[in-house]
Amino acid sequence: MEVTVRIPTPLRTLTGGEEAVKASGETVRQVIEQLEKNHPGMRDRLMDEKGVRRFVNIYVGDEDIRFLDGLETKLKGGEELSIVPAIAGG
């Protein structure tokens, strides 16, 4: 199940500047694991021992995975995953 993952600016240092990358997985968790393989360090920026970090939101399309099945949210392929971290600055 290949999906497109939109990478927020603060995490693009891990993707060589790419703002969108492809990744595969049947669930959001599996996609994050593949992101970690391709872009080491990504998992720790998104997750801690409790799950998705509390200042990070992950969307499948327009749906926040918190209101789906969290990290076990199933993917059909072709979706767009958006990572929205809290940012402060201005």
Binding mask 25-64 for other proteins (x = CB under 8 A): --------------------x-------xxx-x-x--x-x
Q: Which is nearer to other proteins, 12 or 30 (CB)?
A: 12
Closest among 19, 21, 29, 25 to 4, alpha carbons compared: 21
Least gap, CB of 75 to other proteins (angstroms):
17
CA within 13 Å, CB half, 26? 0
Rounded distance between C-alpha atoms, residue 71 and residue 73, angstroms = 5
Stretches 21-29, 30-38, 70-78, 79-87: which one binds other proteins (CB under 8 A)? 79-87
Calculate Rg over the CA atoms of the chain.
12
3-state secondary structure at position 58:
strand
Using CB under 8 A as the binding rule, whether residue 19 contacts other proteins is answered as yes
Q: Which residues bind other proteins (CB under 8 A)?
A: 8-10, 19, 45, 53-55, 57, 59, 62, 64, 66-67, 82, 84-90
